[in-house]
Structure 1
Amino acid sequence: MTVDVLRLDGVTFRRNGKEILHGIDLRVGAGEHWALLGPNGAGKSTILGFCGAQTHPTSGTVDVLGRRLGRVDMQELRRHIGHVNPRHPIRSDLTVLDVVLTGFTGTIEKMMRWAPSDAERARAYELIALVGLDDRADAEWPTMSQGERGRSLIARALAASPALLLLDEPTTGLDVAAREQLLETVDDLSRSEPEVASVLVTHHLEELPESTTHAMVIADGRVLAAGATADVVTSETISEAFRHPIDVAHDEGRWSARARKRLVV
């Protein structure tokens, strides 16, 4: 029986008096890899905020790693969640190693008067190698490419051995080569960290890793479909979500979408 890592039941959310999420249900089991798909403004990032113990719902319940929001120390809970955000606000000249080590402290910058243990430093180097940056461990943040930054943040998110990994549009700003390198890194995690569950937010089907097992498609704050990826990511559902006729294709583990051609009479 699959253990629930994440569960949302009947979740609604209001902002400035307007309801922007309407009765969201989601269950993510250990080792499952979910994608949240939908147009801009659909509510994907708001849902991810619940998953990351960043936000409370207006109504409904959210259970993360077996603990219910509203009844738990949110800051402590967040230490068990890996969060990859390409807009990570580093301002100093941290090296790749420094960035990964901040995953142990749960901070953006290095903590004053904190020094990693030998085991933490060894784990950091192990993760740097895992994401393919072992020859760039001393590279500084301002000189790193967007792809290198993205992979560094994945290693950082794994530092504290989380049970849940959240990826918020992780390929934002990447060129094609860097995007593919990052997606390969995500796919490798499904083999090297088999018990870790993940939730990835995107509105581009081309950005779905091959390891994606489940998907939820949302539009206007409502779930249109949720379940196994092949059952959910269809031309019909994606066309409905984006309000445009779209042909969805699946080839060798990767997804793509194109606007449906109109017949010329």
Structure 2
Amino acid sequence: MGDVTEFNDETNGDLLVDFRDVTFKRGGRNLVGPVTWQVELDERWVIIGPNGAGKTTLIRMAAAEEFPSSGRAFVMGEQLGRTDMRDLRSMIGVSSAALGNRIPLEEKVGDLVVSAGYAVLGRWREEYEEIDFEQAHEILDLVGAYHLIDRSWGTLSEGERKRVLVARALMTNPELLILDEPGAGMDLGGREDLVGYLGDLALDPDAPAIVMITHHVEEIPFGFTHAMLLDDGEVVAQGLIDTVLTSENLSKTFHQPIDVSRIGERYFARRTRRPGTHRR
């Protein structure tokens, strides 16, 4: 456990994540921070940055999977280091490649989703009610994966797996949904289907707060409200998405000239060519 600084003050009850000068260090190296960041109930955040920027480490703290090395970190109103992390995790839905890598290849999709309520990977001896199966079927249908219900994990494509992981993350009716690169490894059609679903979810007033990691602005669903740019563990910019996703900020984050454009509700980015350059 990291050395969490002792403070007497409390967090605002409307904040699901409340980080104040939070850092995370490992092996003597500072991986994240200091970061001050708050996520409210109705917000949808995207976190963007290059490889090694600290994105996954940051959201692992937000998912109550890591303790900060310093600063104050509140999740669901509880300070990390002063509460049972297992209780916090029950209120957070997480979809990540790390979770996907732990799933046995023979696990059935329907069992994988319904078992999320017990925080286990697949059914064993747990007792489920009919309402549990109905909810699992409804969520799988919402993400366009109901037809996969009897398939085994090992037979799914990358895009199909991402849909199932999102369904499992939603199964517990979380207050906070964390998505770690949900579009990674998907083809264009699969990515666009997923972006469309996540956009609909973002616009649903009854949906949980959402925090999503991506490397690509094209993968940001419509309806997302806020953005954070990270580089080398430090915040380059954060706030309302329109003010953060600018050419200047993206160029600074990725250390090359980036042009950002918006078409409708979607963002697109490309590297600008230097004056006088041409193909040989």
Deviation digits for residues 191-213 of structure 1 (CA, Å, limit 9, x no counterpart) = 44634101101111111111211
After TM superposition, list the pairs within 5 Å mapping 1:20-35 onto structure 2: 20-35=31-46
| 1:139 counterpart (138, 151, 169) | 151
C-alpha separation between the residues in 1 aligned to 2:132 and 2:256? 49
1:172 to 175, 184, 198: 184
Residue 103 (str. 1) matches residue 116 (str. 2): yes
In structure 2, the residue matched to 1:150 is 162
- Kindly indicate whether the alpha-carbon contact (under 8 Å) linking 1:30 and 1:195 is maintained by their aligned counterparts in 2: no
Moved more, 89-98 or 63-72: 89-98
For residue 128 of structure 1, report the CA deviation from its aligned partner: 1.1
The aligned residue for residue 182 of structure 1 is 194
Amino acid paired to 1:201:
I
SS at match of 2:104: coil
Matched, 1:231 2:236: no
1:12 aligned residue: 23
The match for 1:74 among 63, 81, 85 is 85
Which amino acid in 2 is paired with 1:24?
V
Output one character per residue of 1:234-264: Cα deviation in whole Å (capped at 9) or x when no partner.
0000000111011011111111111111111
Partner of 2:222: 210
Give, in whole Å, the separation in 2 of the partners of 1:146 and 1:235.
Answer: 31
**Number of residue pairs the alignment of both structures matches:** 264
One-letter amino acid of the counterpart of residue 168, structure 2: R
Q: Please give the secondary structure, in 2, of the residue aligned with 1:209.
A: coil
Per-residue CA shift, 1:131-162, capped at 9, x if unaligned?
11223322221222211111111111111110
Deviations 1:220-241 (A, max 9, x none): 1111111000000100000001
Aligned to 2:8: none
Distance 1:212 1:94 in 2: 33
Classify 1:238/1:2 alpha carbon distance in 2 versus 1 (closer, same or farther; 3 Å). farther
Give identity over the alignment, percent. 38
CA distance in structure 2 between the aligned counterparts of 1:86 and 1:178, rounded to whole angstroms: 16
- 1:173 deviates by 1.0
Structure 2 portions without partners, runs of 5+: 1-11
Distance in 2 (alpha carbons) for counterparts of 1:145 and 1:102? 21
Partners of 1:190 and 1:21 lie apart in 2 by 27
TM superposition shift of 1:20: 2.1
1:220 to 232, 257, 262: 232
Query: Which stretch shifts more, 63-72 or 88-97?
Result: 88-97
Normalising by structure 1, what TM-score? Answer: 0.95
TM-score (structure 2 length as normaliser): 0.90
What SS class does the counterpart of residue 45 from structure 2 fall into? strand
| Runs (5+) with no aligned partner, structure 1 | none
- Choose the corresponding residue for 2:61, options 47, 50, 55: 50
Output one character per residue of 1:86-105: Cα deviation in whole Å (capped at 9) or x when no partner: 34121132222111112111
Partner letter of residue 161 of structure 2?
R
Q: Secondary structure at the match of 1:6?
A: strand
Query: Are 1:86 and 1:171, in contact at CA under 8 Å, matched by a contact in 2?
Result: no
Deviation at 1:2, TM superposition (A): 8.8
